[in-house]
Amino acid sequence: MGKRGKSMSIPSERERIRGELRGEPVSPGIAVANALLFETVALDVLEIDSYLVNDIPNEFNKLENALEKSREQLRKIYRQLNEKSSGNAQDIVKIQLQLLDDVSLLNESRELLLSCRLNIEHVIARQIRILETRFASMDDEVLRSRFFDIQDTYQRILRNLLNIDHMKSDPLKRIETDVIFIANRLLPSDIALLDFKKITGIIIEEGSALSHAAGMLKSIKIPAIIGAPGAASLIHTGDSLILDAYSGTVLIWPNEDDKLVYTKKRRELPSNTPLPKTTRPQKLFTADGRRVRLEANISSVREAREADAYGAEGVGLLRTELYYMSQDHKPPVEEELEFYRSISCIMKEKPVAIRLLDLGADKLPSFLNFYEEENPQLGIRGVRYLLRNPELLRQHLSAIIGACKTADIKIILPFVALPDDLHSTLDFIYEVCKERNVSKQRLNVGIMVEIPSAAFSMRSFFPKISFVSIGTNDLAQYLFAASREDSGLQEYCRIMRPVMLRLIKRIAREAQACKKAVSVCGEAASDPYIATLFVGCGVTSLSMRPSSIPAVREAISRMSFIDTRRRLREALLLD
Ligand code: PEP
Ligand code: MG
């Protein structure tokens, strides 16, 4: 964050108008605190970091492109506000859109560029400072407050100039009081960098409840909403907020009545529910005796404890990339091995399915290099990335296979599209087995089924694997060609759609015919109703958020397998 955040007393100068925003709840709870808006662009750094440019038209071009990108983003927010929100939010976005077309302001930037011949990012940062000084000296409070719109708009232009869409450093080092954290967009790697001691709530403007970021927020258990159009433009650092992450409502500058209502509501909520007393996992059967395993999706030692406490029969999905993203350097092999050992130890030697690093797209640890890609979600992700980085893959496998010696470990390959992806990765696995002196017969290898090409060619994979794990989050994204990150497209990604259920049924049938275990580890397995449909499809194991295990257990134990099939038949008729 630049000097700005510290020097301006924003809340006292801004109009304290009560406003309301809406988003999708991802982690329930109520938070009452002042806002901390994560500003990705540090002006002071840009002011120092300038360089002479020869190609002035090129700098103009960069500015034009950033303006156009900003326009598109604001128009999208405007449309979304129309659907979701109330109050004067749309007016503010409209003002920002007008500012993007304000010829006099833009001419000032152009003149500044022509006179100093320095890079355009520096020019814009300088112009924000000039405007800040100009507006700060105005007597008229209404006019003075216009600076906030200008600042928001120019920050957006800067972010687009710098292609910043995620944070690259820990933004909370200087925070001393509790805050509700607001960001335009958060990537899983950003979340891994946050210090949650001071964050009582999280509001993210872009994204959907199916995104990786949302998945992480759920497990962190801080009240959070995502897909809240306008949040990062309308809320400013220091604004007083109430976040109701049950209904997905944010109140900006709540009045006394609001505060009373929410204080009461908060008092009535069960206080931080402690983990249940660890119970030995009981085997789950449907009412007519069909066995279904319930396992947990985890990414940390803390979640392993939760999984054990909620009676998980094992870890069905350990997302290793989140462990990597919480580090600031590549973990040494022995340290990584120790991480797997501690998880297996907490799980009391129950099976742990370790997924190889699913890096790429939005999961980019700061200490690794990534490719510039046109379309990262369709790019170098999962095993594609690992196979292009053989040294990383060898070291990663060395830690996992090292852990196999003393623990019941399974290995899952992420983002497998072709049998070749599997075969090439297996070559590495066998090589490391030799080095580590582990018999490859001991290994239990499976693949994520999350790309339609794999889902429709299961039999090509079966000779080399012992299980499959269906990743419904990605499978839906790629089946319906609808980004899981985009809250406006969630209508497409419904797991309940007959085409999706039919595909899962088909995978389960093929797996059964070839005597392979089949599990679902996507977010949908945490939903008790959908979980019973998966059982009806023939899935024999479900892996989910640990806290969902009791409800899913209850729902499945109450139904016979025949009932789940009947329910599935009904669902297949609906659209
Ligand atoms: C999935 O895609 O369904 C899955 C479980 O993996 P992730 O959410 O980590 O992509
Ligand atoms: Mg996936």
* CATH number of the domain encompassing residue 438: 3.20.20.60
Please indicate, yes or no, if residue 279 is contained in any of the structural domains.
no
Please indicate, yes or no, if residue 5 is contained in any of the structural domains.
no
CATH number of the domain residue 81 falls in? 1.10.274.10
Please indicate, yes or no, if residue 528 is contained in any of the structural domains.
yes
Tell me how far the alpha carbon of residue 351 lies from the centroid of ligand 2, in angstroms. Answer: 20
Query: CB under 6 Å to ligand 1: residues?
Result: 212, 215, 317, 319, 358, 450, 471-474, 521-522
Atom of ligand 1 nearest to the CA of 319: 9
Please indicate, yes or no, if residue 299 is contained in any of the structural domains.
yes
Q: Is 18 helix (H, G, I), strand (E, B) or coil?
A: coil
Residue that terminates a domain, selected from 268, 296, 325: 268
Amino acid at 338: E
Half-sphere exposure (CA, 13 Å, Cβ side) for 23? 33
Do residue 180 and residue 82 come from a single domain? no
User: Whose atoms come closest to the Cα of 476: which ligand?
Assistant: 1
Residue that terminates a domain, selected from 127, 162, 197: 162
Tell me how far the alpha carbon of residue 318 lies from the centroid of ligand 2, in angstroms. Answer: 12
Q: What is the residue with the minimal CA distance to atom 1 of ligand 1?
A: 471
Do residue 340 and residue 418 come from a single domain? yes
Do residue 364 and residue 505 come from a single domain? yes
Atom of ligand 1 nearest to the CA of 321: 9
Structure tokens at 85: 């929100």
**What is the separation of C-alpha 196 from the centre of its chain, rounded to a whole number of angstroms?**
16
- Domain count within the chain: 3
Do residue 298 and residue 222 come from a single domain? no
Atom of ligand 1 nearest to the CA of 473: 3
**What is the separation of C-alpha 149 from the centre of its chain, rounded to a whole number of angstroms?**
28
Do residue 92 and residue 107 come from a single domain? yes
* The pLDDT value given to residue 374: 87
Do residue 26 and residue 110 come from a single domain? no
Q: Measuring CA to CA, which residue among 490, 424, 419, 426 is closest to residue 460? A: 419
Q: What are phi and psi of 348, to 5 degrees?
A: 55, 50
Tell me how far the alpha carbon of residue 361 lies from the centroid of ligand 2, in angstroms. Answer: 11
CATH number of the domain residue 193 falls in? 3.50.30.10
Tell me how far the alpha carbon of residue 509 lies from the centroid of ligand 2, in angstroms. Answer: 21
Do residue 148 and residue 186 come from a single domain? no
Half-sphere exposure (CA, 13 Å, Cβ side) for 272? 7
Atom of ligand 1 nearest to the CA of 317: 5
Please indicate, yes or no, if residue 511 is contained in any of the structural domains.
yes
Do residue 407 and residue 513 come from a single domain? yes
* Contact by Cβ (8 Å): 368, 330: yes
Do residue 475 and residue 536 come from a single domain? yes
* Contact by Cβ (8 Å): 350, 314: yes
* The pLDDT value given to residue 186: 74
Please indicate, yes or no, if residue 338 is contained in any of the structural domains.
yes
Do residue 495 and residue 361 come from a single domain? yes
Please indicate, yes or no, if residue 273 is contained in any of the structural domains.
no
One digit per residue, the tens of pLDDT, for the chain of length 575 reads 222 232 233 344 456 778 899 999 998 889 999 998 876 566 667 777 789 999 999 999 999 999 998 898 788 777 766 655 444 556 767 888 888 888 887 888 889 999 999 999 899 888 888 888 888 788 776 677 677 678 778 878 887 888 765 444 444 444 567 899 998 877 665 676 676 778 899 999 888 887 777 877 887 778 999 989 889 888 988 899 999 998 899 999 999 888 888 887 877 766 556 677 776 778 999 999 999 999 999 999 989 999 999 999 999 999 999 899 888 789 999 999 999 999 999 999 899 999 999 999 888 887 898 888 889 999 999 999 999 999 999 999 999 999 999 999 999 999 999 999 999 999 999 999 999 999 988 899 999 999 999 999 999 999 999 999 999 999 999 999 999 888 778 888 889 999 999 999 999 999 999 999 999 999 999 999 999 999 999 999 999 999 899 999 999 999 999 999 999 999 999 86
Task: Give the contacts of 326 (CB within 8 A, at least 6 positions apart).
Answer: 192, 300
Cα 442 to Cα 162: distance, rounded to the nearest angstrom: 49
Cα 344 to Cα 68: distance, rounded to the nearest angstrom: 51
Do residue 308 and residue 406 come from a single domain? yes
Q: What is the residue with the minimal CA distance to atom 10 of ligand 1?
A: 474
Atom of ligand 1 nearest to the CA of 474: 2
Cα 400 to Cα 382: distance, rounded to the nearest angstrom: 16
* The pLDDT value given to residue 6: 29
Do residue 309 and residue 427 come from a single domain? yes
Residue that terminates a domain, selected from 162, 189, 216: 162
The reported pTM is: 0.72
DSSP code for 75: H
Probe target for ligand 1 pocket from 450, 451, 478, 541, with the most ligand atoms within 8 Å of CB: 450
- The boundaries of the domain holding residue 414 are 284-572
Tell me how far the alpha carbon of residue 476 lies from the centroid of ligand 2, in angstroms. Answer: 10
Please indicate, yes or no, if residue 317 is contained in any of the structural domains.
yes
